[in-house]
Structure 1
Amino acid sequence: MPPPPSSLPPRVLPNLVSCSRRAVTSAATAAAAAYSTAVAAGGGGGGGRPLRYAVLGAGFAGLSVAWHLLKHSPKGSRVRVDIYDESGIGGGASGVSGGLLHPGIIRPPTSEKTADILLESSLQSCSLQVLDSDEAQCLIPGLCVPLNFAVYMPLALNINPKKYLQVALFFACQNMSDEASLSSSEQKECKLYNEHVDDLQQLAGDYDSVIICLGARASSLPELTNKLPLRTCRGVIAEFQLPSDTIETYGSQSPSILSDAWLAFQGPRTVSIGSTWQWKSENYSSSVSDDEALNAMEELLPKASAVYPGITKWKFVQARAGIRAMPPLTANGSLPLLGCLNDVIGKRSNCSFWLVGGLGARGLLFHGLAGKLTAKAVISCDENLIPPEFTCWKEP
């Protein structure tokens, strides 16, 4: 555990690689008092200590929150963001994901029901194109289109999650700190600690706010045990490569494929296929046993080969896994769980506690919005800045 921030001199680290609209009265009032105290002590600029935020988790949600805290902090303020994750950046489910960001990818349906849904969606959106078999196979030679119908999403985006988190998003936090170091009135720090946090109260005395972005592990904190409506679901992804003696490769301009299984191509010779869904799993390991890998391939390969038969020529390389934190299904769909936790865990200090959780299998899709909404609410000490659809999970 690093020394408490209160014992460290302010510095810049330039080389850091309700369904009702009720206010969170007691929580927001106490947090606002802490904010005012910090500003009076110099957190809003000038001397004194900076505003201090702890972000638990270095996946999609955690790094997004960290970036937005740095981005949206008041001009001229002094801010310190400490990120805690024992597994490092992208060490959890975020780093294991397939990297498919919708809208994107080609979608050949395998049932009439799915075809009807996709057709209706494509008629309502100019970003979706309806293709017949010939048109789809021009994009992906060898693609099987069972119903002579596929939807193409030309705004396709398929990223490498680990590289995005480590090289892009965390690097953006570093750049924010570097730019602030050029100002005499503004200082911003961001530091990563590869450490485990056992409970929230060990941080309460050193930070103005603690934002919990631990995914499925959030429920393991003693203050949150049995208090979050999250469902765990383990997913296994299988990685394949073309044998070195195979001349024909996957087209450099061909999109990835989304069907009963998804095929996320990372270059002409590498593809990840996913994902399995093992509900109520308590296996948090990213490692996959031989038996689990075999079971995953037996489940995923038939689904993948149904739309892309050429996958049978590819060679299995490895499997990786992660635990999704699935939110409850509501009238608004399955939405992330956001909001202030002071009323949930009990207020014991001037530190406020916040949650970004339940991103499920859509972490890449939701992390930007969830991080921005939460960071602005944390900075303003006002949960009402978060739409009620994301906070109504706390209602009885």
Structure 2
Amino acid sequence: MSDNARNCLASCVVETIDKDGAQNLVPNLCLPLNCAFYFPEAMNVNPQRYLQALFLACQNSAEASLGRKNVTLVKKSIDDVFELEGEYDAVVICLGSKIDFLPGLIGKLPLRTCRGVITHLQLPESARGYPDGGPSILSDAWLAVQGSRNLHMGSTWEWQSRNYSSDVTAEEASRALDELLPKASAVYPDIEKWRFAGARAGLRAMPPVTSRGSLPLLGCVDKLIGGPAGESSKFWVFAGLGSRGLLYHAWLGKLLANAVLSCKEEQIPCELTCWKKNKQ
């Protein structure tokens, strides 16, 4: 892992630490294999804030490069993607897990739905707080640390679920805690001192497993959704990024944008469009 990180990005700092090194970061931290990778410059990303900042960056970039051109966020409910047909030169459908609920695409994309629950935990005032600057932890369960007394623990995997509500019932939250706490406590035993403070859920849209791994789905879907005869390269999908979306999205977005602007799907690597052949 260290070699791969350095080969990809020279500035990526990856340290190998043993049990003693881990406990210097977080008291009582356990390493079952007496080895862990520590990323001193790693950070948690809040998806909603990140997307808001990304949209602002797009606006600023458009103004800087295109003069008076604007990037506008239009919030509008539609029942069918063809309602957008006359308004835009091209439409990129990137709805995450909800893409499989869109008329015209229901059951046509090889996506595997999976509901995940994350729990919010808080540390009582009577207990010693998590170390300032202490790392988040990625193990069988992950802990996203939010200061000395707040963290998020995740995540569960409920395959084939169609429930995309973010609300979590008391029963579902209890099941999530029963599943996640033993995994987290194997590395961070002090998690038993933390108290449940809430839970949220989301529905993942996972790509199919192939001989090359689980790769996102990109490409033009005019024929798939039954577009008008004679029209070409009007509707595109960008889906199935899975848990690596934060790593993939910018590069894949650039590839897709170039393909859309040129109306040439072949500009997208064939590994990301081969799913269409299996649908024909």
Q: TM-score, normalised by structure 1?
A: 0.64
Corresponding residue SS for 1:172: helix
How many residues get paired? Answer: 270
Give how far 1:123 is off.
5.3
> What one-letter code is carried by the residue in structure 1 that aligns with 2:165?
S
Higher relative contact order (CA 8 A, sep 6+): 1
Which SS does the other structure have where 2:73 is aligned? strand
Secondary structure of 1:192 counterpart: coil
Correspondence list, 1:141-160, <5 A:
141-160=27-46
**What amino acid maps onto 2:258 in structure 1?**
K
Aligned to 1:297, the other structure's residue is in SS state helix
How far did 1:162 drift?
A: 1.9
Residue 344, structure 1, aligned to residue 224, structure 2: yes
The residue aligned with 2:259 is 377
Q: Does the CA contact (< 8 Å) of 1:204 and 1:351 recur in 2? A: no
Q: Is the 8 A contact 2:233 2:263 kept in 1?
A: no
Give CA deviations for 1:48-93 in whole Å, capped at 9, x if unaligned: xxxxxxxxxxxxxxxxxxxxxxxxxxxxxxxxxxxxxxxxxxxxxx
Q: Tell me the equivalent position of 2:187.
A: 307
Amino acid at match of 2:225: I
Aligned to 1:136: 22
- After TM superposition, the structure 1 stretch with the greater mean CA deviation from structure 2, 329-338 or 360-369, is 360-369
Aligned residues of 1:212 and 1:218 also touching (Cα < 8 A):
yes
Pairwise CA distance, 1:381: 1.5
Q: Which of 85, 90, 105 pairs up with 1:224?
A: 105
**Superposition deviation, residue 312 in structure 1:** 1.5
Pick from 218, 240, 248 the counterpart of residue 358 of structure 1. Answer: 240
Deviates more, 1:201-210 or 1:121-130: 121-130
In structure 1, what is the equivalent of residue 162 of structure 2?
A: 282
Equivalent position of 1:210 in the other structure:
91
Contact 1:210–1:351 (Cα < 8 Å) also in 2: no
Indicate conservation of the 8 Å contact 2:222/2:232, yes or no.
no
SS at match of 2:87: coil
Q: Deviations over 1:184-220 (max 9, x none)?
A: xx43222223332211111111111000001111122
Q: CA deviation at 1:306?
A: 1.1
Structure 2 residue aligned with 1:171: 56
Map 1:243-262; keep pairs closer than 5 Å.
243=124, 245-246=125-126, 248-262=128-142
1:242 is displaced (CA, Å) by 1.8
1:211 and 1:262 map into 2 onto residues whose CA distance is 32
Please give the secondary structure, in 2, of the residue aligned with 1:238: strand
Matched letter for residue 242 of structure 2: G
Separation in 1 of the partners of 2:114 and 2:206? 7
Which letter does structure 2 place at the counterpart of 1:384?
E
Q: Report the Cα offset of residue 178 of structure 1.
A: 4.3
Q: Distance in 2 between matches of 1:325 and 1:241?
A: 30
Judge conservation of contact 1:205–1:351 (CA < 8 Å) in 2. no
SS in 2 for 1:273: strand
**How far 1:271 moved relative to its partner?**
0.6
- The 3-state SS of whatever aligns with 2:153 is strand
3-state SS of 1:135 partner: helix
Q: Hey, what's the Cα distance between the residues in 1 that align with 2:232 and 2:217?
A: 23
Under a length normalisation based on structure 2, what TM-score does the superposition of the two structures give? Answer: 0.89
**Is the contact made by 2:115 and 2:201 (CA closer than 8 Å) also made in structure 1?**
yes
Contact 1:207 1:351 in 2 (8 A): no
